[in-house]
A = this chain, B = another copy of it.
Amino acid sequence: MLKDWTFGVDWRTTEECKKLLKKRREDLAGLQQRIKEAKLPVIVLIEGWGAAGKGSTIHSLIRELDPRFFRVLSVSMPTPEEKRWPFLKRHFQSIPEQGKILFLDSGWMDETVRERLRGDLSDAEYARRIESVRVFERQLAAGGYLLVKLFLHISAQSQRERIEALESDKDTAWRVGENDWRQNKNYDRTLAAFDDFMTATHAPHAPWKVIDGTLAAQAQLESADWLYQRICAALEEKPSAEQPKTDWPLLPAMPLQDIPLDKTMEEEEYQKKLKKYRKRLAELHNELYRKKVPVVIAYEGWDAAGKGGNIKRLASALDPRGYEVLPIASPTPDELHRQYLWRFWTRLPKTGHIAIFDRSWYGRVMVERLEGFCTENDWKRAYDEINEFEKELTDAGMVVLKFWVQIDSDTQLARFTERQNTPEKQWKITDEDWRNREKWDAYQVAIDEMLVKTNTQNAPWHVLESVDKRYARIKAMRLVIQAIEKALK
């Protein structure tokens, strides 16, 4: 992308460019209302050489825009705190809501290339990063995001002159970072790294656009033109993405109705194991805190299957300063207006911490599928997207456990009825529970499909037979212990 670039195709005067730019800025302002109405979220990623003019390009692009309508984010290298989460987390966290534009002054490319050049990433880690970026961009595009990626390109000589000019003025000298000189002194090596990254992340739904940064006015005009074209195209037709990877290394899954539910546990054994496992879990929690291993435990299951009590027993073994239970309710407007995994990315535990999700991202392929809260295309695509999401987590060293808390329909009926008839339990049962119960068969189909398609080796499902809640609680604790022991080895 950069290696065969020829600088200096200079066919318009600065004056001409400025005139056209003024017009183009007004065109962009004119698109705002349409972007809002079409609920199109737009991410404009501006990467490029140090001192190539990223800041002034952004400044130029936003000049006529309504400030309530866009946001500019200057992305630095991750802080030590930010490094306690998977690579994509902070980038996912900042995605805009529908109808808004986010301008990024460098981002996941700058971070990755710098770390690679510094030698902080092995070849395998770098390859993994590329994969993460591809997943990120593809999922956003599939979720209706328009991704505009610009690279501001200048020659080694031009960069050197610009850095020197900045340094010679006391008002701008502080803007020159050591990375700028490092880039310039290793121009060819840096160019090769940029080129690698861009080639690997150039995709139909998120193509790179190289902008010749030699002359500021031209670069700004070209950037505005490209942004305008891309937005117009996206307004005509929602951006479409490549198909995700689908060949997941899956484990076999048993249809729910074939799972025997006759497992029980006597009170005495239960109390004995509870005590033993609590002690062991406390030790392990301590150790994973010190070794900075993060853990995600997702609970799904039928209403009244006993998720709450199961979570409570598990949590009671943990140091409360090191875990959090995250009840997942319907998405808020903020969440609804962003890619659906956003609200889970933002809730991930940091290193050494445990997050227990009481319901999870699997809502997409269960309630959202069955209630029509998303399109068929959305939930069908979600199996792969969820597998990709979980792979991001486990590849980053997170332990991921997924529990399906299983009961049969008769047990549910008995528990619902008991709740209805016990005054202090009545608040636990709502009309919605009864309505969901009527859809038992449809849910069973969806759940079976989910268990088959997302039973990956890195994040397998575990069924907790919960007709006897004691059995299910002990099984959950045992599985958590095993998974953590394995991770700590």
Do residues B74 and A321 form an inter-chain contact, with CB atoms below 8 A?
yes
A71/B324 in contact, CB under 8 A: yes
CB of B308 within 8 A of CB of A68, answer yes
Instruction: Offer 15 A-B interface pairs, CB within 8 angstroms, sorted by A.
Output: A62-B320, A67-B311, A67-B312, A67-B325, A68-B311, A68-B327, A72-B324, A74-B321, A74-B322, A79-B79, A79-B81, A171-B283, A174-B290, A332-B332, A332-B334
A28: min CB distance to chain B, Å? 13
Residue-by-residue, is A66-95 near B (CB-CB < 8 Å gives 1, otherwise 0)? Answer: 111001111000010100000000000000
Which residues on B sit within 8 Å (CB–CB) of A424? 33
A315 CB contact (under 8 Å) in B67, B322, B332: B67
Residue A103, interface by CB 8 Å: yes
For chain A residues 323-362, which have a beta carbon within 8 Å of chain B? 324-325, 327, 332-334, 356, 358
- Complex CA distance for A33 and B174, rounded to whole angstroms: 57
- Determine whether A105 belongs to the interface, using a CB cutoff of 8 Å to chain B: yes
A79 neighbours in B (Cβ, 8 Å) = 79, 81
Instruction: Flag if B68 contacts A325 (CB, 8 Å).
Output: yes
Is A427 in the interface zone, CB < 8 Å from B?
yes
A59–B206 CA distance with the chains assembled, in angstroms: 49
| Minimum Cβ distance to chain B for residue A232 (Å) | 17
Bound-complex Cα distance A235 to B324 (A)? 26
The oligomer's copy count stands at 2
Q: A316 at interface (Cβ–Cβ under 8 A)?
A: yes
Closest-by-CB residue of B relative to A333 is B332
- Pair B59/A308 contact, Cβ less than 8 Å: no
The residues in A between 211 and 255 inclusive whose CB is less than 8 angstroms from any CB of B are none
* Contacting residues, chain B, for A316 (C-beta < 8 A): 63
Are B332's CB and A59's CB within 8 A?
Answer: no
CB neighbours of A73 from chain B (8 A): 321
Q: Is A399 among interface residues, defined by CB-CB distance under 8 A?
A: no
Cβ of A201 under 8 Å from chain B: no
Taking the closest CB of chain B, its distance from the CB of A435, in whole angstroms, is 22
Q: Which residues of B contact A311 (CB under 8 A)?
A: 67-68
Query: Any chain B CB within 8 A of the CB of A113?
Result: no
A103 to B59, CA, bound (A): 44
Inter-subunit contact A358/B427 (CB<8 Å):
no
Residue A286 lies at the interface, judged by CB distance under 8 Å to chain B: yes
- Judge if A55 is at the interface, Cβ distance under 8 Å: yes
| Closest B residue to A287 using CB positions | B171
Closest to A54 in B: B321
Smallest distance from the beta carbon of A25 to chain B beta carbons, Å? 11
Residues of B within 8 A of A427 (CB): 33
Given contacts A68-B311, A334-B334, 17 further A-B contacts (CB under 8 A): A55-B319, A58-B320, A58-B321, A59-B319, A59-B320, A62-B320, A66-B312, A67-B312, A68-B308, A68-B325, A73-B321, A74-B322, A79-B79, A171-B286, A332-B332, A332-B333, A332-B334
Interchain CB contact under 8 A, A67 and B174: no
